[in-house]
Amino acid sequence: MSSTDDRLRGWRHHLHQIPETAFAERETSRFVAGVLRDLGFEVTTGVGGTGVVGSLTRGRSTRAVALRSELDALPIDERSGVPFTSKHPGAMHACGHDGHLAMALGAAAVLAEEGGFDGTVRIILQPAEEPGRGARAMVDDGLFERFPVDRLFGLHNLPGTPAGHLLTRPGPLMASEDNFTIRVAGRGGHASAPHLVIDPLVIGAEIVLALQQVVARNVDPIHTAVLSCTDLRTDGARNAIPSNVTITGDTRSFEASVQALLERRIREIATGLAAAHGATAEVTYTHEFAPTVNDEECVAIAGEAAIRALGEDRVRLAADPIMGSEDFGVLAGHVPACLAFIGNGTTAGEGGTPLHSHDYTFNDGILSAGVAYYREVVRTSLGSTRPHLLSPAGYERS
């Protein structure tokens, strides 16, 4: 194992032991800020709460490119069995953000030591990705005004995909997430006298069933959407019909018009069915994650870089979009950007265990691949001449 690999694994294993949840990533922020300073980066901390931005300039160009990673962990008790397990009970890097951070730091180290670019590279380390709040906090704190960039790139590991393979696509890559809560108020009473009540449980059941028709019968079939009711709770008892029912769930889509349609139909169906039974329904609908939509030219740069770093047989630029969500979408709404997936492995326990599992493990074997990709992304973006970009036909490579 090379000294470079040792350094990457050392960073990753240390970060894995100190997981911190959203906006509480103080120890993590101090550590990564210290590494960047030691590498010669100009470092700003406290951006959007606990966020960190490192900047390094070479040459005379005013162009700037950013690499983004996440700082936060999940509120999960770890049962992965690794020797460098979490030292913080109730917190675990179960999404691989420790690996993402190590790859970003590794790229920062290579670029600081080797150069090979003309302009400014920024390392953006974002808090609170998991709840979808950190990107907005950094933007509201003047991220792109204080640290302007021409392009932004990010990586996320993908269990179930061969280790070190890179997948992305132009346009929609990851969906938005909206949450809804429906509160149905009826009139409860004794289970032996249903004729004297307005049963919100029956109404709630009708609402849940009716909502299953929204995607099938209201969304244009050429668009993609998911509407899921995920919980139903009442204040009733075994022999008491409830007075109140609460239904919660979420929706996923790629376009603002579809988001608006889903919200409108949820409100219409819930309030209409409640009124038909003499009850009332109150709907709360919130936008949690923006869709991640990749810029076409950034994807072309990512493809050129990935082919040089990983080999053409490991790069797919026509990946299927997924209905999961990522806070990267907020950042991609402000600057041209590309998020890509890097395969974490296909075997359980060796990178194939699903994200957000208590026994998830990040595959250390992909760290160097992520660093190589990031290095080439920066050099392609900030080279002395404009890079030769893939034509749209190049997106069909796999």
Catalytic residue list: 72, 129
How far is Cα 267 from Cα 393, in angstroms, rounded to an integer? 43
Q: What is the DSSP string of 5-45?
A: HHHHHHHHHHHHHS---TT--HHHHHHHHHHHHHTT-EEEE
Is 130 annotated as ligand-binding?
Answer: yes
Is 388 annotated as ligand-binding?
Answer: no
Is 97 annotated as ligand-binding?
Answer: yes
Residue 290 burial (10 A CB sphere; 0-12, 13-18, 19+): buried
Which residue blocks in 142-255 are alpha helix, DSSP H? Answer: 143-146, 200-211, 214-217
Task: Please count the other Cβ atoms lying within 10 Å of the Cβ belonging to residue 307.
Answer: 20
Matching residue, tokens 């992965």: 80
Is 287 annotated as ligand-binding?
Answer: no
Q: What does the block give as tokens for 293?
A: 């939509």
Dihedral angle computed from the Cα positions of residues 244, 249, 255 and 257, in that order, rounded to the nearest 10 degrees: -10
Amino acid present at 266: I
How far is Cα 139 from Cα 144, in angstroms, rounded to an integer? 7
How far is Cα 300 from Cα 167, in angstroms, rounded to an integer? 12
Q: How far is CA 360 from CA 77, 158, 363, 365, 383, in A?
A: 11, 12, 10, 15, 38
Residues 92-101 as b/e (b if ≥16 CB within 10 A, e otherwise) read: bbbbbbbbbb
Q: What does the block give as tokens for 79?
A: 């049962």
Is 356 annotated as ligand-binding?
Answer: yes
Where is the binding site for Mn(2+), in residues? 95, 97, 130, 156, 356
Where is the binding site, in residues? 95, 97, 130, 156, 356
